Structure 1
Amino acid sequence: MASPHTPSVESTSLQYFDGHILNSRGVFGVHYGNPSVLLDIPLPEEAPAPTVSNFRSSDFRRPSWINPNFPQLLLLPRSNPFYGPIFSCLNFNKKTVHTERVETMPLGDTEPRVRWGLQQDLIDRWLHLESLLLLTLHYMTVLHGGSAAEGVYTFPTPIHYCYTERNANSPSDAIKVALNSRDAFLPLMAHLSLMFLLLEAKNTDDGWRQQLNRYTRLPWQWIGDLEASAVGDFTIERLGGIIDLTQSKSHPDHRIPQHVRWLLPYLLGKHLVPLYFFYGHVIPPTEPIPDALLEVGFVPTIEELAYLRSRSGAVTFSSWSVINDSVWKRRSGAHPSTSSLSPSAPTLPAYDSQAPFDSPPTATYFPAVERDSGQKRGEDIHAFMERRRLHNEKRAQHESPDAKSRCLAQERHASKGAPPGKKGARVFIWEEEEGFYIRHACNRIDTADLWDNFTPAQRVYDSFSNQWDLCTALAPDEEAEPDQSLYDVGDDDDFFPFHPPDSQTPSIPSAPDVPGREVIQRRTGERAVEVLERAYDLHPDDPAEDPDNLPGWQKQDVLTAIRFRFGFEEPITNANSSPQIQNTPSPWCSWCVGDANWAVPETSALPTLLQHILQSDLQEAAANLSDMTSAASELALGWDVAVTILNQGSEPLYELCSLGSESSEPSILLESAATVLQVVRSGWGGIEPTIRNLVRLGAAFSPGWPRPTDYRTPLAPHRPTLSLGCRTSDYRPTLVDFAAYVQRRDAFVRSSRGRTALFYGGIVGRIACLVLSDFEDVACLEPSEDVLQTGARVSRRNGEGELHFETLTKEEINLICGVYTIETGQKSSATEEGQQLKFISWWPTPPAFYLSGLNTGWWNANCERWFVKRLKDIHNGQATLMTYTQWKNKIRFNKTARKVTEKLDKVAAQYLAARFA
């Protein structure tokens, strides 16, 4: 006899199920089913919808039978949503929440009264958050034209659950109040998610966001952060719910099918929302079926029921699959196979590149990991630590003496055990979700609050990445707080203070007469600035990036640059023998060598050489002006690096290898012939020192990793789109916007993919060096296969295999440069949305920088002066964001210098072609 949880067929490792199942209660239609639910779908009395007056924490973390008044609960996030700049103040559990003792002297009493409650600072943060969420919800509802649908109500707001009162009789009661109040934010977040979904479906452009910004005066960064959170990010999985389609019209919840009918078209096949439709035992169903299900044919038939009954097991399965973007049908080979059972014209896309399965997996479900956290999905903390240890061993092999000294100093500071300061190490806290620990970044303020909740053994510092990891699983037997009685918080309902709203209405209920009521009632968008300033740790008097002391750049002597970039040394005799060219120093000469403040000596022959370069002809120049024209120069002798010209398209690509290098050692790929000769002249030696010097120089190159010709990497993993969001044409940036950009940019650059920015040179490379303190060591590391497989490849000569190198996507480069999308309000057929778009940015994108007079092939003194001034203007509120055209005009500077850079590459390419002819 089959056990109660024996599925009808062997399980697989897939993580969702679409199709029909049969258990003792009847038939369920399943849309994106959660495997942990399918084998044991709860009864209505086991998982009722949460009530407004009483609920347990688990009620918002498991699928329930949907109440028609609160369909927004379908959109509750499956995993912990309390992360990011907006919601991190809610991220605590019964052991980490901060409560405090409160003493008052009631009138007429002789002894102080002792009560317990949340810390006042946390109360203030929650009040501000709640008021801003309610302001946002109110105007989103207005923009929608009223309530989501008839009979859809707003859940009582968090302040109804008494977190402001600080009147609990014991610490454990205070913790209960805090937990209940925190969980009351969940239905509020779900309601906002519902409004995002409806407004997106109703509007074909971003006009509603512009109206929301105008009505509320909420900063654009607030709207962007809210959309990037669990509220507006519909790439995250939702909790979903169970929908009873068997109830007759006489049932008090008869409105359920009506509510499903209006909501289903927004969910089916569009979002990761598990839906469990209960059809019962009577097939075909006698009660009305929502049109959305009928349209895709996702309704059990007599034949389907017979097939389910023919299979063994307490729970039997009939999976359905996607065969293209518009057809959804039973899995090939499933019985019965008559075409009449296949649904027609559905709109259910594939959620996974793998085939659907016939039964839910028994493997552990792995929650999604935080973007740019460094954790891989399915990786626990011990596996993460081991992977990082092995990675650090490789880094140690390439570690410079300066980097080693820096790491040792950081380790000595970390050994003190104090939380890091503003410019100290990054902190990640591992939070348990569905029995699994997920790594979340923590800002400085929250770190200071949570630090002492972890014992020293539960805090691990890594000097290579300059990061702390805090996790109770590192020492599960240790407790930071010995008094466990404080945390003896059960699921009983003995203590549940609650102020019921005056009436259950679709509108947002008014705040009860409790402390903080005036904050809730005085909802203003300007308050969001204060919330975001704290979230991004913004202190105008102490900026995270000090323009007067920027790391990541070391000034190169001008004479050294002239010698190694141009192959020029002052001749012993004056080189003015050329009759065509006058030796007159001009300002453009200083721009050509990267420092406008450097005065060209009047007797120098450098202007003569630069004039010949402008004419792309060094043959007429005196032999002693350039080593490219002198047969006696060191350049004409043997080189300590092997150079190969790879013909890739119309432009040559140069491969540099160490003489006698190992087959596993990377090559260096360069597009600039002038940079190739600079490497040769500089005599840096092997590949690793060359990589270090090129990164320090700010030149563009790519380490190429050898792979055989038949090498094939697996499919690249899905990468979420990176974007700073959309703004209106009248958008004016603030320091909050810049701080948010810096936080997202830095998190990406520190990721395994982000280090690729070091190889782009120019503005992208300079920003990467600013973010990565150990950028030279990082540049020398071999990339992981999952990063390399998303890059590019070139074929080596003579069939010697291929070179694979890392690349960034356009979205990733735009994130590094701080690009925002602007809707001009004009129509355009050039975009899918039909709206004319333009793009503005904090920094010029590579195409604009490439055409600038700043671009001489390396990051020079002119570049750094401009970079520092721009950063100062940003911090002083004097910077404007510019389009590509505006940037191109703004940083044009000296056109002749740019022409010299182009011509130098041309004559260098001619020299290399002749040498290797």
Structure 2
Amino acid sequence: QVAHPFMLEHYCPPADWVEMAKKTELEFSRVILLSEKNYVPREGAQPAPNYNKNYRTPQSSTPIAPWDPRRSPEHDLPNPHTSNTTPKNTYHSNSAASPTNVVPSGLENENVERAAIVNRGSGQKAYETWEEFAERMAAQAELIKTKESPREKQSRESREQYAAKSGWSNKSKVFVWEQDQFDKAFYRRTAIAQNAEVYEDLWYQTTPYQRRYWGHLNQWDVCPHLPNQPPGAKPILSEQELDDLEDDIYHLPMQPISTEFPKVTNEDVGPAMLQTVRAAFARGADLQIEEYHFPHASIIQYLRFRHGFDAEIGTWNPRCHSEGSHILNHDEGAVVVKKLLYEPIRTELSIQTSTAIVDFWNTALNLTPTLDSLPSAWDISPAAPEDIRLVCNRNIVACQRVFGKNNKDMFILLPGIRSQHQSEWFVATSDATTVLLVYRSNWGTMIEIARGLLELGIPFRTVIEMSKSKVPSTPWSYNSAGLGYRPSDFHFTEDDYLQYIYTRNQVLKSSYGRAVRMAGGITGRIAAEIVPEAEVLGGPVYCNEVIGKLGDVCYVDDKLDDESLDMVCGTYRITLKNAENSHSKTSLWPRYNQWFSTGLAGDQWSPRAEEFYQQRVRDFENGTFVLHNSKEWKIKYRFDVKPLSGVLASSQALASNFIRNSSLF
């Protein structure tokens, strides 16, 4: 009979096994006892082998009778591939966690060919080991290289370069080789559901020698069962092993290890030590920090200097307004103040000014504003009066546009040709509105610019020029564990808070502190309490990250790693209840990138953000500690982030167009 090809591939034994079974059946056909489901070899015949490691047959003393189409159904032997109790896809798991038992219930595991069971869509063949699979994939890759077009070759090489530098991507598929539960010598290729945290854990626990990328398939194979490094290879520690090193990234001095051990006593010193530690790290001790207050300007000054809009002129231009649910009426100025995060500052606005603020909001919400269509209240508009029109003196502060990350614009502010204040370092920003803010504020030196941006809580970088050949290699980048891993039932206490304060301050008092403060956002606000202004004004320390490029010239600054940011935000990796190998990043403060997706971020440190920060500090002082994961932070502080983001993006686009098209730059 002719079987379906799919059935032959997945549910029938290999052809050589069928041939061997036929020979066996011919040898013992006359002595098979069907009713006993056993056989008795004829006199002088060799008994069937009990185990053959080459064919991975089950270790069983009970032989299996060959199939006979004439026998009755009640004499049929149990078949794991045709069990009526077997749910669909029992043998082919494509989830992040493999099933604990891929054999249908009711069958003895020794009677099942474990190595014959592979996951559907994994690409692994029955009985195929990792070495055999890797050899087959390598041969397949070489064959495809000989047939691919130039465009396909370019795409593959781009994927391989990205994989070598950054690891997995959102479009790549990741497989892990898991040991079979019963056949410990067999490893099964299992697809991992796309989950960034699960991928991070896999990369965290393995070395490059345990990972293999197939560019022609855009697939990763992670093999935890392989050695960390082959014999004679250059040792590469996994990120998990790096965490176990006694030397931390801040190179703190360490006490020499003593070889003399104190005598064991029966004294209960635990309570006394805990009391001493609490006293040392009490809030009234050295950890107490002076409060820092941002000098917030009024909403009128914010619009004037940050966006170049003069609200005191009084303007209303419906022709520039778009249509949508976020468009406001002329008498809703207070609503705009709230949406711009300036509600905590009580400012009495005239009707004329309030109407102009709404006009700014509605105009900025227009997705296609152009410089020519801007009302005269904008200082970058061609129709702006002389007294408010933006003037950029590039002889004092010059602006150089270079290529930043992903070829996006990066603006370097440096002393102009007539400046009397030269500097060893310059200010860099990717925000066009920040560039125009510098010119509107008439800051004439690098120190004035850096101080002004620090006071406003605007992210920026301090850079120095360096030739491309002298740029140091980029430091290692690894997945952040923050303050460490905690179990699913972790409960944050005051002792944990004291430990967080100590660790946070160690980071901020190190050479990394200046980079954290310049990063802005919630981490920059926390750093403002610890990192003095002078640390920032001293310029870069390590110069190990390229911020922008122009020809053979690179602009470099200190690299700020995720580990430092997560420590400052009080981030823990909490084990998920239903998945022991997965973790949720839970933090005391919103994590750095998470902060900018909330409705509190804005384009600089706002009064609303300061109100949130002060309330959170008061909660900690009162012993109230509530941690949130990324999703909870986003939901809890979302507010009207969408329209605000649209307004800020529109202002950014206008400023960028002005810089590109103006003769002043």
Instruction: Tell me the TM-score normalized by structure 1.
Output: 0.41
Distance in 1 between the 2:256 and 2:488 partners? 43
Q: 1:653 to 1:628 in 2, by over 3 A?
A: farther
How do 1:110-125 residues align onto structure 2 when only pairs under 5 Å count? Answer: none
Matched residue SS, 1:901: helix
Q: Within the alignment, does 1:792 sit opposite 2:546 as a pair?
A: yes
Superimposed CA distance per residue, residues 226-258 of structure 1 (whole angstroms, 9 cap, x where no aligned partner): xxxxxxxxxxxxxxxxxxxxxxxxxxxxxxxxx
Residue 810 of structure 1 corresponds to 562
Contact 1:695 1:779 in 2 (8 A): no
Distance in 1 between the 2:317 and 2:236 partners? 74
Which of 554, 560, 564 aligns to 2:305? It is 564
Distance in 1 between the 2:599 and 2:262 partners? 68
Paired letter, 2:464: W
Distance in 1 between the 2:251 and 2:468 partners? 34
Residue 229 of structure 2 corresponds to 325
Contact 1:373 1:751 in 2 (8 A): no
Paired letter, 1:678: L
Q: Within the alignment, does 1:613 sit opposite 2:613 as a pair?
A: no
Superimposed CA distance per residue, residues 440-487 of structure 1 (whole angstroms, 9 cap, x where no aligned partner): xxxxxxxxxxxxxxxxxxxxxxxxxxxxxxxxxxxxxxxxxxxxxxxx
Paired letter, 1:643: C
Matched residue SS, 1:788: coil
After TM superposition, give the deviation of residue 839 of structure 1 in Å. 0.7
Distance in 1 between the 2:304 and 2:485 partners? 47
After TM superposition, give the deviation of residue 680 of structure 1 in Å. 1.3
How do 1:82-161 residues align onto structure 2 when only pairs under 5 Å count? Answer: none
Which fold has the larger relative contact order, with Cα–Cα distance below 8 Å and residues 6 or more apart in sequence? 1
Residue 400 of structure 2 corresponds to 644
Q: 1:819 to 1:646 in 2, by over 3 A?
A: same
Residue 534 of structure 2 corresponds to 777
Q: 1:564 to 1:880 in 2, by over 3 A?
A: same
Residue 906 of structure 1 corresponds to 653
Contact 1:673 1:908 in 2 (8 A): yes
Residue 819 of structure 1 corresponds to 571
Distance in 2 between the 1:675 and 1:622 partners? 21
Q: 1:545 to 1:860 in 2, by over 3 A?
A: farther
Contact 1:595 1:861 in 2 (8 A): yes
Q: 1:739 to 1:601 in 2, by over 3 A?
A: farther
Matched residue SS, 1:603: helix
After TM superposition, give the deviation of residue 793 of structure 1 in Å. 3.9
Residue 596 of structure 1 corresponds to 343
- Matched residue count: 415
Which of 722, 730, 735 aligns to 2:494? It is 735
Matched residue SS, 1:680: helix
Distance in 2 between the 1:704 and 1:610 partners? 35
Residue 665 of structure 1 corresponds to 424
Distance in 2 between the 1:351 and 1:894 partners? 45
Distance in 2 between the 1:720 and 1:607 partners? 44
Q: Within the alignment, does 1:706 sit opposite 2:449 as a pair?
A: no
Paired letter, 2:358: P
Distance in 2 between the 1:792 and 1:585 partners? 45
Residue 522 of structure 2 corresponds to 763
After TM superposition, give the deviation of residue 374 of structure 1 in Å. 5.8
Matched residue SS, 1:622: coil
Residue 881 of structure 1 corresponds to 627
Distance in 2 between the 1:911 and 1:904 partners? 11
Contact 1:855 1:898 in 2 (8 A): no
Give unpaired runs (5+ residues) of structure 1.
1-203, 205-321, 330-347, 353-366, 376-429, 435-490, 500-510, 521-526, 828-833
Instruction: Tell me the TM-score normalized by structure 2.
Output: 0.55
Distance in 1 between the 2:576 and 2:565 partners? 23
Distance in 2 between the 1:325 and 1:497 partners? 39
Paired letter, 1:815: M
Between structure 1 and structure 2, the one with the greater Rg is 2
Distance in 2 between the 1:529 and 1:497 partners? 18
Distance in 2 between the 1:325 and 1:873 partners? 49
How do 1:419-568 residues align onto structure 2 when only pairs under 5 Å count? Answer: 516=267, 519=268, 531=274, 534-535=277-278, 537-539=280-282, 544-545=287-288, 550-551=291-292, 553-568=294-309
After TM superposition, give the deviation of residue 558 of structure 1 in Å. 3.5
Contact 1:536 1:736 in 2 (8 A): no
Q: 1:368 to 1:543 in 2, by over 3 A?
A: closer
Distance in 2 between the 1:497 and 1:732 partners? 34
Matched residue SS, 1:534: helix
Superimposed CA distance per residue, residues 667-712 of structure 1 (whole angstroms, 9 cap, x where no aligned partner): 2211111111111111111112111211221111111210012214
Residue 281 of structure 1 corresponds to none
Superimposed CA distance per residue, residues 853-909 of structure 1 (whole angstroms, 9 cap, x where no aligned partner): 222221121111110001111222333100111111222233333332222212222
Q: Within the alignment, does 1:855 sit opposite 2:606 as a pair?
A: no
Contact 2:317 2:359 in 1 (8 A): no
After TM superposition, give the deviation of residue 431 of structure 1 in Å. 6.2
After TM superposition, give the deviation of residue 821 of structure 1 in Å. 0.2
Residue 4 of structure 2 corresponds to none
Residue 16 of structure 1 corresponds to none
Distance in 2 between the 1:678 and 1:806 partners? 24
Matched residue SS, 2:638: coil
Contact 2:308 2:380 in 1 (8 A): yes
Paired letter, 2:280: D
Distance in 2 between the 1:729 and 1:432 partners? 36
Distance in 1 between the 2:583 and 2:593 partners? 18
Distance in 2 between the 1:544 and 1:497 partners? 31
Q: 1:824 to 1:741 in 2, by over 3 A?
A: same
Contact 2:493 2:625 in 1 (8 A): no
After TM superposition, give the deviation of residue 758 of structure 1 in Å. 1.6
Distance in 2 between the 1:559 and 1:612 partners? 16
After TM superposition, give the deviation of residue 783 of structure 1 in Å. 2.6
Paired letter, 2:229: D
Distance in 1 between the 2:401 and 2:376 partners? 26
Distance in 1 between the 2:512 and 2:263 partners? 48
After TM superposition, give the deviation of residue 792 of structure 1 in Å. 2.7
Contact 1:588 1:894 in 2 (8 A): no
After TM superposition, give the deviation of residue 840 of structure 1 in Å. 0.4
After TM superposition, give the deviation of residue 433 of structure 1 in Å. 7.2
Residue 623 of structure 1 corresponds to 376
Q: 1:826 to 1:431 in 2, by over 3 A?
A: closer
Give unpaired runs (5+ residues) of structure 2.
1-178, 180-226, 239-244, 322-328
Contact 1:536 1:739 in 2 (8 A): no
Which of 555, 575, 592 aligns to 2:315? It is 575
Q: CA RMSD in A?
A: 4.0
Give the share of equivalent positions with the same residue, in percent: 20
After TM superposition, give the deviation of residue 373 of structure 1 in Å. 6.0
Contact 1:571 1:625 in 2 (8 A): no
After TM superposition, give the deviation of residue 738 of structure 1 in Å. 1.3
Distance in 2 between the 1:852 and 1:594 partners? 12
Distance in 2 between the 1:622 and 1:351 partners? 60
How do 1:19-98 residues align onto structure 2 when only pairs under 5 Å count? Answer: none
Paired letter, 2:487: T
After TM superposition, give the deviation of residue 371 of structure 1 in Å. 5.9
